[in-house]
Structure 1
Amino acid sequence: MRKVQIRKFLLIDGSYKARILRGKKTTTIRYGDYEARPGGEVYLVVTPSDTAVAKLRITGVEKRKVKELTNEDARRDGFSDVRELLGELNKIYGELYGDDDVTIISFEVIKRFEDGIPLKWLKALNYREPAEIARLYLENKEKLNLNRETDFIMRRIYNEGLGKAVRTFGPKRVQNALLKVYHGLYAEGLI
């Protein structure tokens, strides 16, 4: 079985979002061999919307066999007991057996995004958050010399958040402005 590396984001079903954000689910248990760096920071991306809703710090990575999972593992993963956990894992991965390998990835939420960030936007911005792009723009706007609409959009993101900017200007215009600013910052060596 090949090793799966978690580097930039952790994809998780949207039904778990509230439990994670409330601190009721502090692990994810994955079938197979996953690799993540303890201390590393990744985005929590929920499906099916593919939206980043938080930033997580990986606090631990542990390899186990399915038969070694405990009720404590289940509780940290947001389930009442190991039977409930296994039922959910079997729904996701198909029937798992006692000798199958799983990886327990522990994490803590370090930042929540009131307005989710589309994963494709994060990827296009090389995993820079829109608020950071807006801040860097405002600190360096005289070097970038971009149009008024881009200026208005960046100010809106910085002062009122991504969601407000999207509701005011529409997702396509906001995305285009962010990309224009990102490329301008990159060209100037500012990111």
Structure 2
Amino acid sequence: MLVDNKYKKKIMSGKKVTTIRYGSYEAKPGSEVYLVITPSDTAIAKVRITKIEKKKVRELTNEDAKLDGFSDVRELMRELNKIYGELYGDDEVTIIGFEVVKTFESGIPLKWLKGLNYKEPEEIVELFFKNKEKLNIAKDTEFILQRVREEGLGKAVRTFGPKKVQQALLKVYHALYDAGLI
């Protein structure tokens, strides 16, 4: 689920627990999705969808606005009109309620998640160390993964650079996949 970076603090602090989208948005309550901030396309959290509610624009309330991180419905409408163009009373919106399940302190680039088939880097690292005797992985790749395991993804990226860390994760992901372990 994409959101603008300007909402990151409100989401992480719990002041924004919904997002309102123009038109129909299909999702099932209980499903988990990555919350990706734009324009950097970085996953900052995994969230669980708590509700999906369709309304006409004229039916939006101050309570809807507050759950979305705004002071009142007028402020909410100003923002929605900036994003979608002028909305009218009969236009349909979808209110998506969510709760943060897991945060990613350093963020995870969306393209990394796509390349890892939406497995989190730490999950790949742990699967590797549980199964490393079954895999043929170079020592330099193992060293990078050990640093991710011990220090976290952000610090490993700062130490080795994003390209080396991404390549190490992809090598291991494919080795795990080829071995039938994921």
The counterpart of 2:8, out of the listed 17, 42, 50, is 17
1:5-84 to structure 2, matched below 5 A, reads 10-84=1-75
Show the counterpart of 2:94. Answer: 103
Give me the whole-angstrom Cα distance separating, in 2, the residues matched to 1:158 and 1:61.
36
Show the counterpart of 2:117. Answer: 126
Identity %: 72
**Cα distance, 1:143 vs. partner?**
0.9
The two structures have a TM-score, normalised by structure 2, of 0.99
The counterpart of 1:156, out of the listed 147, 161, 165, is 147
**Cα distance, 1:145 vs. partner?**
1.7
Give me the whole-angstrom Cα distance separating, in 2, the residues matched to 1:158 and 1:136.
11
Structure 1 consecutive aligned stretches of length 4 or more whose deviation exceeds 2 Å: none
**Cα distance, 1:158 vs. partner?**
1.2
Instruction: Give CA-to-partner distance per residue, 1:34-63, whole Å, 9 cap, x none.
Output: 011100000000001000000100000000
The counterpart of 2:174, out of the listed 175, 180, 183, is 183
**Cα distance, 1:139 vs. partner?**
0.7
The two structures have a TM-score, normalised by structure 1, of 0.94
Moved more, 70-79 or 167-176: 167-176
Give me the whole-angstrom Cα distance separating, in 2, the residues matched to 1:157 and 1:102.
41
Give me the whole-angstrom Cα distance separating, in 2, the residues matched to 1:141 and 1:57.
32
The counterpart of 1:86, out of the listed 77, 80, 89, is 77
What amino acid sits opposite 1:96 in the alignment? L
| 5+ long unaligned stretches in structure 1 | 1-9
Instruction: Give CA-to-partner distance per residue, 1:10-31, whole Å, 9 cap, x none.
Output: 0000000010000000000000
CA RMSD, aligned part only? 0.5
What amino acid sits opposite 1:170 in the alignment? G
Give me the whole-angstrom Cα distance separating, in 2, the residues matched to 1:54 and 1:85.
23
Give me the whole-angstrom Cα distance separating, in 2, the residues matched to 1:107 and 1:156.
32
| 5+ long unaligned stretches in structure 2 | none
Give me the whole-angstrom Cα distance separating, in 2, the residues matched to 1:143 and 1:49.
36
**Cα distance, 1:157 vs. partner?**
1.0
Give me the whole-angstrom Cα distance separating, in 1, the residues matched to 2:174 and 2:121.
13
SS at match of 1:96: coil
